[in-house]
Structure 1
Amino acid sequence: MTGASGGLGSAVARRHAGPGVILSLWGRDSQRLEMVATECRAAGAEVTVRSLDISDVGAAVAALQQEDAAHPFDIAVFSSGRGDVRAPGDLVEEAGMVARLAIVNFAAPAAMAAALADAMARRGSGRIVLVGSAAAFHALPFAAAYSGTKAGLARFADALRLSVKAHGVCVTLVSPGFIDTAAGRKVPGPKPMLMAPDVVADRIVRASEAGRAHLVLPWPFVALRWLDRLLPRPLRDRVLGGLTPPEK
């Protein structure tokens, strides 16, 4: 589990915790990570933690392969990511921020998922969950890097799913809307249909267990995805252009 020190990742970790379960929890916030690990151990799970920055993609992949070689993973949930948007007063997003999001939101989880999918395929079983965002389906002018990197992850997840399906590996893409987490609350603007992390975590676990290819939640975001596709481009552009959060 990557992103285990975050609101959603910790909820998914607690949902999996129980007697006989071995959890490997990864996260940037070491203090928060230890708190989540303590909760999972109290539920009966055996837990190891790893605090690292996955923006060092090579080191992250090597650490994942090392852990998998020692104790092969049955399921991996990649839920880490950044939700940075355009800074107030800027015309476009800062180039360095775009690069950071490209690594953390796309390159790192994609590379790690590919490495693990290969090992799982050779074993003939396994489940991988990639947590994206409903923003992947909309060209958000104030969050071009975020929506763009999540769009890349969505296409990668679908392609990876097709490549390993015949080898007994299930890949599930999760595209949630707004989640009531500390990181989510920092995003400016209204947050319609805000979801509790525990509710989202439960849906993620059930979708993975059922072998679903794609989970979009809450359900109205499915309709919004189709609306974005079907609207004439001038009207769609007008709608999206009006979504920029007001500056404080």
Structure 2
Amino acid sequence: MEVRPGQNTNGTPAWALITGASGGIGAELARLYAYRGWNLLLWGRDEGRLEAVARDCRRCGADVRIRALDLQDGHAAIASYREDDARTPIDLAILAAGLGDMKTADDATEKAETVLELGLVNYATPSAMAAAAAEAMVRRRRGHIVLVGSVAAFHAIPFAAAYSGSKAGLKRFAESLHMALSPHGVGVTLVSPGFVDTAMSRRVVGFKPFLQSAPSAARQIARAVERNRAHVVFPFLFSILRLVDVIVPWPLKRWILSRLKAGQVPRGEMTQDGQKK
């Protein structure tokens, strides 16, 4: 029997879990996988927005369940993942939720609370969820885990130490997990996008080179999963910049990075779809 994408070996629709599904890349991934015949578990902080995305997916014939959860609570996320997986085994876990923040020009340092929040949402909780997914997938000897990071992981960014540091941690974890799970038939893909037109990037004030749409980012992630890529960086130019970063001596690199400037609109001054109030 031929098994089509989005189907289990018995011909029934497979289940994908997507975090951060209430908007941005996560919402576009949900719509894409619904169109391709997957059933969906959609997680996010905003239940109303999740339900709106779920309605779009149900129009494609997908069975969709939503869960409103704040990923700052890592223990709740682990327990919820295991609960969902026990009910319907998850074949694809896309951990796309993330937060972005940076210090303002008037601040000498980032706020301690912000550093903790980004560390939990961008690194600790998705890594723990990936470990929970790995436990179940290794037992079944099938499955794929996707961790969405950022090209910021490649650079020490003085005005966004919490963001770049949390994404760097996720990158190293994903690389290690990929090596650990390869012998067990479980795939791991790390995604390192540049600027994507989402609510998070709209808060950034200043030049956003090679800005891509969220649907385009979703298609590139899905393609990387299909090809079982260990790491995908987009747009492609950032792959070249990553190589440049490796060969540039640290004193010169530090001089360049220390002169970068950027600003950000505070979260409270933006609507949920990333528009300024």
TM-score range (shorter-chain normalised) is over 0.9
Partner Cα separation in structure 1 for residue 37 and residue 219 of structure 2: 19
Distance 1:93 1:41, change over 3 A: same
Aligned to 1:213: 230
- SS of the residue 2:61 aligns to: coil
Measured on the aligned residues, the alpha-carbon RMSD in Å equals 1.3
Report which stretch shifted further, 81-90 or 101-110: 81-90
Q: Equivalent residues in 2 for 1:138-157 (5 A)?
A: 138-157=155-174
Q: 2:260 aligns with which of 224, 243, 246?
A: 243
| 1:98 match | 115
Distance 1:100 1:246 in 2: 19
Q: Tell me the SS of whatever aligns to 1:88.
A: coil
CA gap 1:231/1:121 in 2 versus in 1, 3 angstroms: same
Measured in 2, the distance between the counterparts of 1:199 and 1:247 equals 24
CA separation in 2, counterparts of 1:245 and 1:158? 29
Is 1:22–2:36 an aligned residue pair? no
Aligned counterpart, 1:86: 103
Residues 230-239 or 189-198, more deviating: 230-239
Distance in 1 between residues matched to 2:58 and 2:105, nearest whole Å: 42
The match for 1:200 among 205, 208, 217 is 217
- Cα shift at 1:226: 1.1
Percent identity for Structure 1 against Structure 2 = 52
Offset of residue 190 of structure 1: 0.9
CA–CA separation in structure 2 for the residues paired with 1:97 and 1:233 = 27
* Aligned residue among 233, 240, 246 for 1:223: 240
Once the two structures are superposed, residues 129-160 of structure 1 have per-residue CA deviations (whole angstroms, 9 ceiling, x without a partner) of 00000000000111000000000000000101
Match of 1:53? 70
SS at match of 1:195: coil
Aligned to 2:187: 170
Aligned equivalents of 1:4 and 1:165: distance in 2?
27
TM-score (ref. length: structure 1): 0.97
Between the aligned partners of 2:71 and 2:235, the Cα distance in structure 1 is 28
Indicate whether 1:109 and 2:123 are aligned: no
Distance 1:29 1:247 in 2: 22
- Structure 2 unaligned blocks of 5 or more: 1-17, 266-277
Residues 70 and 236 of structure 1: is their aligned pair in 2 closer, same or farther, counting only changes over 3 Å? Answer: same
Q: Taking structure 2 as the reference length, what is the TM-score of the superposition?
A: 0.87
Would you identify which runs of 4 or more consecutive aligned residues in structure 1 move more than 3 Å? Answer: none
> Counterparts of 2:29 and 2:209 in 1: how far apart (Å)?
22
State the aligned residue count.
248
Looking at secondary structure, tell me which structure has more helix per residue. 1
* 1:112 to 1:32, Cα distance in 2 relative to 1, 3 A: same
Give the whole-Å Cα distance in 1 for the aligned partners of 2:252 and 2:207: 21
Structure 1 spans left out of the alignment, 5+ residues: none
Contact 1:141–1:244, Cα closer than 8 Å, also in 2: no
